[in-house]
A = this chain, B = another copy of it.
Amino acid sequence: MMSTLVKPSILPGFMELTPTDQILFNKMMDTIRKNYEKFGFLPIDTPVIEKSEVLLAKGGGETEKQVYRFQKGSTDMSLRFDLTVPLARYVSQYYSQLNFPFRRYQIGKVYRGERNQKGRFREFYQCDIDIIGNGSLSIINDAEIPALIYSTFKELGFDAFTIQINNRKILKGFFDSLEIDDSTQILRTIDKLEKIGQAGVEKELAELGLNPEKIEKINAFISVKGNNAGIISELRKLNVSNEVFIEGVEELDTVIKYIRLFGVPEENCKINLSIVRGLDYYTGTVYETFLDDYPSLGSICSGGRYDNLAEYYTKQKLPGVGMSIGLTRLFYQLREANLIQADETSLTKVLIIPMNEYTEESVEVANKLREAGVFSQVYLESGKVGKKFGYADKLSIPYVIVVGEEEVKTGLYTIRDMTTGEQRSLDLEEAIKCLK
* Contact (Cβ within 8 A) B10 A262: no
Instruction: Say how far A408's CB is from chain B's closest CB, in angstroms.
Output: 14
1/0 per position for A302-341, CB-CB distance to B under 8 A? Answer: 0000000011111100000000000000000000000000
Instruction: Tell me the complex Cα distance, A37–B223, Å.
Output: 56
Which of B51, B69, B373, B391 is within 8 Å of A38, CB to CB? Answer: B373
- A217 to B6, alpha carbons, bound, how many Å? 44
Min CB gap A41→B, angstroms: 8
Interface residues of A in 53-108 (CB under 8 A from B): 53-54, 57, 68-73, 75, 77, 88-90, 92-94, 97-99, 101, 103-104
Q: Given A16-B45, A99-B395, A314-B8, does the pair A258, B363 have CB atoms closer than 8 Å?
A: yes
Interface size class of chain A, counting residues whose CB lies under 8 Å from the partner chain: 35 or more
Chain B minimum-CB-distance residue to A12 = B75
The answer to whether B42 and A104 touch across the interface, beta carbons within 8 angstroms, is no
Give min CB distance, A186 to chain B, whole Å: 26
Assess A123 versus B48: contact at CB under 8 Å? Given A18-B97, A138-B382, A367-B263.
yes
- Asked if A348 CB lies within 8 Å of chain B CBs, one says yes
Q: Is the CB of B26 within 8 A of A43?
A: yes
Does A261 sit within 8 A of B, measured CB to CB? yes
Q: Are B363 and A47 in contact (CB under 8 A)?
A: no
Asked if residues A94 and B18 are in contact (CB atoms below 8 Å), the reply is: yes
Q: Return A124 CB to nearest CB of chain B, in Å.
A: 11
* B22 & A42 in contact (Cβ 8 Å cutoff): yes
Interchain CB contact under 8 A, A137 and B375: no
Q: Which residue of B lies closest to A346 (CB)?
A: B42
Give complex CA distance A122, B370 in Å.
36
Is B22 in contact with A44, judged by CB distance below 8 angstroms? yes
Interfacial chain B residues near A26, Cβ < 8 Å: 43
Q: A92: nearest residue on chain B (CB-CB)?
A: B8
Q: Does A119 contact B (CB under 8 A)?
A: no
Interface contact B42-A136, CB-CB below 8 Å? no
Q: What 1/0 mask marks residues of chain A from 172 to 194 whose CB sits below 8 Å from any chain B CB?
A: 00000000000000000000000
Closest Cβ–Cβ distance, residue A38 to chain B (whole Å): 5
Contact call A89/B262, Cβ cutoff below 8 A = no
Task: Contact check, A381 vs B138: say whether CB atoms are below 8 A apart.
Answer: yes
B19 touches A104 (CB 8 A): yes
Which residues of B are found within 8 Å of A39, using beta-carbon distances?
370, 375-377
Chain A, 260-287, CB within 8 A of any chain B CB: 261-263
Closest-CB distance, A284 to chain B (whole angstroms): 15
Interface CB pairs A-B, < 8 A, 15: A10-B46, A10-B54, A16-B45, A16-B90, A19-B42, A37-B347, A37-B375, A38-B373, A39-B375, A40-B347, A40-B377, A70-B70, A136-B381, A261-B360, A262-B363
Residues of A that sit less than 8 Å from B by CB: 1-2, 5-11, 14-19, 22-23, 25-26, 37-40, 42-51, 53-54, 57, 68-73, 75, 77, 88-90, 92-94, 97-99, 101, 103-104, 109, 111, 113, 122-123, 133, 136-138, 140-141, 144, 151, 258, 261-263, 310-315, 347-348, 351, 359-360, 363-364, 366-367, 370, 373, 375-378, 380-382, 391, 394-395
Further contacts, 8 of them, CB under 8 A, given A40-B376, A99-B395, A133-B381: A9-B54, A14-B49, A39-B377, A40-B377, A42-B395, A47-B123, A72-B113, A138-B382
